[in-house]
Structure 1
Amino acid sequence: MFFKLNIDVLQLGLHSDMDQLLFPVESWNIRPEVRLLNDTHLSCYEFDERRNNCLSNVNWNENAVFVLLPELDTDDISLSREFLRVLELVPELQSHQNVYLFPYGRSSLQLALRQAESGFSKNQFDSVQIFSYDRSSRLDIGSPTVGTSAGVASECAIVATVSSAKRGLKFSWSSYERHTSDKTEAFTVAELLSRYNKQKGLLLSQCYFPLCIEETAKEAWLTSLCNLGFCISNETEILFLDMYTGDLGACSGLFSLCHMQKQYQEGRYKGRTLQLDISHGQYRSVMMLEYRA
């Protein structure tokens, strides 16, 4: 599937300049604010009190809106509570006829793209709008910090329209796994990377990997990287966007995709790009994308 990504909203804390946010990594020049919270100095990107202001002028797609959510428990109560939080930000979605929810955290994007690909092929719609919003719990007064990732605490919102196209980004391969208690974390990630190696086995020019995630999850992909074999070389560029942005939660995958498209459009990227996303609960996803100008 070839598709085009049009970014309607990209907001990280108080920053919305897309040229700055979709940076070549060597020229990142945005700095987080530092605030005293829970008796700790916290580096953060946080919205101001007009939290939904960046979303007030969005024209919502009539075909379908895909909402990427933090990974939730499977019960309806958790999903309803999270969707109510979305409606506080975007009350227009209350009356929208075609809202799809993807409660898979950092891995939500791949599952949304799979749904879009299916919808395009069946002529259900020719474009969909993807909305993601997430806010680090460390930004809340009194929130526990045990088990959370270190680094910058972030609040982010993204709205982007994905349209079927004859050129642009190509969704070439994808796979996902649910991590269960009978498997080690490293086994689940290794299985995904091995699957790419066996099913595609093509050299990668760029790889997007997460760094500001739970320590066991980070160790899992680091120890599993060898399963890509000769698909990576000393010329493969490894990118850790969350070193600069902080962990963006459910926005992580979409932010990486926006960044990736910008680099391809400006000629900085060539060849194939692998993106690994690891949710804090069960879901892990890998996808490979290419680009045709």
Structure 2
Amino acid sequence: MSTELVSVGVLTLNGWDLLLIVVVSIQSTALAYMGHPRWKAFLLTLPVPFTLATLSVGQPVGPTNVIGLVLLMGYTYGVYLLHARWRLPIVLSIALCAAGYCGAATALAARLPTSEIAFWASVVGVFALGVLLYRLMPWRAEPEHRSPLPPCIKAPMIAAVILFLVIIKQQLQGFMTVFPMVSLVASYEGRRCLWTLARQIPVLMMTTLPMMATIHLLGPAVGMGWSLAGGWVVFLAVLIPFTRRQWAVDGVGLSATEGSGEAAPDSAQVRDPHAANPPITRTG
């Protein structure tokens, strides 16, 4: 799959690049047509882009992959702040945060140490950050929303974004593997549930880091392909029980909201892009 398949001018795409473009386009389109914020967030968590981008970049998993999760959180929460709190248009919010990710990733890629100590220190630090953020971000009821755009329009737009990332992947290095490829679409299509999407990134951090650690450990012995397979096993072993508990706890929160007489998000809130995203309040 790593052999060059397509060459356009100075741009050469390999098999993993093409597969990344196709699969991420499908995943992003599927996310756009899911209505419930819970399922949008869950699909956002699946590290399909990370898997294919790792194969596309062709570099071992290291500190740049791990620190990229912090930039991903910054992107997602930044979109929430700019759009839901500061009332900037959603497209402008996404563009500014995506540019910020690329700028920070390009600056850090050549400066981060690549030693074993740096890798494991970053894993521990980012995991602790994920736990802290998850505890500080309470569940909120947010409205359902599905994309009004047909797939024939949406899919090519997504593919164009991924193609751009493939072009600059050498500059981004490991940061490219956790770039918000799906989140670009999720932020736009989930603009009524930006808090739910932002709250899911700490979950992604806590579940993807064991996967990254597994790939890092197994890679030198069994190669990238088998280490990724082992990483998926570990990822699912962590994600499934965590998600079941998370949904159970969120269900209690929903029941408490309904029991208190608070109105659930409705179509009127869906029409108001800021109604479902009130200012941050600490609960519990």
Structures share a fold, TM > 0.5? no
Compute the TM-score of the two structures, normalised by the length of structure 1.
0.25
**Bigger relative contact order, structure 1 or 2 (CA pairs below 8 A, ≥6 apart):** 2
TM-score in terms of structure 2 length: 0.26
More helix by share: 2
